Amino acid sequence: MAVLDKYAALAQQYAGLEAAGANPFNVPFERVLSPTAAIIGGRETLLLGTNNYLGLTYDPAVVAAANAATQAAGTGTTGSRIANGSYGSHQQLEAALADFYGRKHGMVFSTGYQANLGIISALAGKGDHLLLDADSHASIYDGSRLGYAQVTRFRHNSPDDLANRLRRLADEPGEKVIIVEGIYSMLGDTAPLAEFAAVKREYGGCLVVDEAHSLGVLGATGRGLAEQAGVEADVDFIVGTFSKSLGGVGGFAVTDMPGAEILRVVSRPYMFTASLPPGVIAATEAALHQLRTRPALRQRLNENALRLYRGLAGLGFELGPEPSPVVSAIMPSPEAAFGFWAALLKAGLYTNVSLPPATPKGLALLRSSVSAAHSPDQIDQAITLFAQVGQSLGLLGAPALVSAK
């Protein structure tokens, strides 16, 4: 038996997608034109599946900062943060993130995935307890495996179930680390964070919130769900990414916890990978400045998200429970999701397909993500294409295209 034979069934499915010319997991962008458009398959395509929430990938100040830093400091560090990979710019970005969140400590990781791996595995080790929302991102589950803690899942967005689990663990030794997300990436729903914080206050524990999809989206200043819910003081660690609202790559964690600097020499994903290149660091700091000083971006993003959500709901699509920059249409089957995605792409609209086990409740999703850079006309164009494809595939009834104005 060959080492890859265990993937034979999956490989057959994958080959079928390739043969049909409709593989949503391997789409080359021949040329990116803007935050909202690219050349795909030789034609200009509207992008509605990139997580580029604030549209900062082409912001002139961000691009200029990346170029200047690359010219000054080179293309990469060629080392980890505990060797030669800690430049002054890394520390400057950590200080800027800590200042933005009003925290004492900030750490920058090479990806958002590694930020979760590094923080979770360092906080909860053998003999400790991790309590995870059942719909947690893969990086959270993988971080729990890396630390060897006992993992307990509680029902998605259920403070009552979390309280029950903590009661059962009350007499168990070890730390209790609770992990939830701001905006969940599959259906775009938010956590009832105020209620989770109340449970934490009653039963104790360390509360970690992954704000990957809510940074720059929620809160009066864009700090995320903890800010919006008014419970920042109850959140011990905030983890996030630079690859959504900040338009780059990398991850971070901020905290007020005393002694947090020790994490730099116990967090293996932080210690044993090359640090981010100077250009990425500079671009991220410039993007963070844009986030802080241009609240109109956040307002436009949320207006666009509401416009798309209302438009698709008005057509009869079953969506996630609330409007957010993640707008997912629930498909009747994976085959329907593939077919719908392929038809949209052929019509000039790029979205994402999300399937189990990445999705909750075994759902097949056609997932869209909205940007502040989208114009109202582009949002309406996307709604129109959803309507046309849905009708052509027999997934919608009579034309009922609505204006989401």
- 92 and 24 in a common domain: no
Domain that holds residue 159: 58-293
What are 308-349's pLDDT values in tens digits? 999 999 999 999 999 999 999 999 998 899 999 999 999 999
**pLDDT given at position 225:** 98
Which residue type occupies 157? N
Which residue type occupies 265? V
- Residues 378, 46: Cα–Cα separation, whole Å: 8
Q: What tokens does 163 get?
A: 């309280």
Q: What tokens does 198 get?
A: 């109340």
Report which of 362, 352, 356 is spatially closest to residue 327, judged by C-alpha positions: 352
Say which CATH number the domain at 152 has.
Answer: 3.40.640.10
Helix (H/G/I), strand (E/B), else coil: 277:
coil
- 382 and 328 in a common domain: yes
- 140 and 107 in a common domain: yes
- 358 and 336 in a common domain: yes
- 120 and 246 in a common domain: yes
Task: Look at residue 107 and tell me if it is in a domain.
Answer: yes
Task: Look at residue 398 and tell me if it is in a domain.
Answer: no
Domain boundary among 293, 323, 352: 293
Give burial (CB, 10 Å; 0-12/13-18/19+) of 202.
exposed
Domain total for the chain?
2
For 365, half-sphere exposure in the C-beta direction (CA atoms, 13 angstrom radius) is: 24
- 244 and 229 in a common domain: yes
- 112 and 259 in a common domain: yes
Q: What tokens does 216 get?
A: 């720059």
Residue 283's alpha-carbon distances to 33, 59, 106, 244, in angstroms, are 19, 10, 17, 13
- Residues 253, 112: Cα–Cα separation, whole Å: 9
Residue 247's alpha-carbon distances to 37, 148, 223, 224, 244, in angstroms, are 15, 33, 16, 16, 5
- 98 and 36 in a common domain: no
Domain boundary among 273, 293, 313: 293
Helix, strand and coil in the chain, % to nearest 5? 45, 20, 40
- Residues 116, 215: Cα–Cα separation, whole Å: 15
Give burial (CB, 10 Å; 0-12/13-18/19+) of 367.
buried
Report which of 243, 312, 250, 307 is spatially closest to residue 275, judged by C-alpha positions: 250
Task: Look at residue 178 and tell me if it is in a domain.
Answer: yes
- 360 and 252 in a common domain: no
Burial code (b: 16+ CB inside 10 Å, e: under 16) for 285-317 equals bbbbebbeebeebbebbbbbbbbbbbbbbebeb
- 141 and 121 in a common domain: yes
In angstroms, how far is the first alpha carbon of the chain from the final one? 59
Q: At what angle do helices 159-168 and 193-203 cross, to 10 degrees?
A: 20
Q: Are residues 93 and 108 in contact, defined by beta-carbon separation less than 8 angstroms? A: yes
Low-confidence residues in the chain, pLDDT < 50: 398-405
Task: Look at residue 228 and tell me if it is in a domain.
Answer: yes
Domain boundary among 248, 276, 293: 293
Say which CATH number the domain at 356 has.
Answer: 3.90.1150.10
**pLDDT given at position 401:** 38
- Residues 359, 365: Cα–Cα separation, whole Å: 8
Strand positions, DSSP E, 256-372: 326-331, 349-350, 352-354, 364-369
- 141 and 224 in a common domain: yes
For 362, half-sphere exposure in the C-beta direction (CA atoms, 13 angstrom radius) is: 2
CB within 8 Å of 302: residues ≥ 6 apart: 217, 323, 325
- 331 and 271 in a common domain: no
**pLDDT given at position 399:** 42
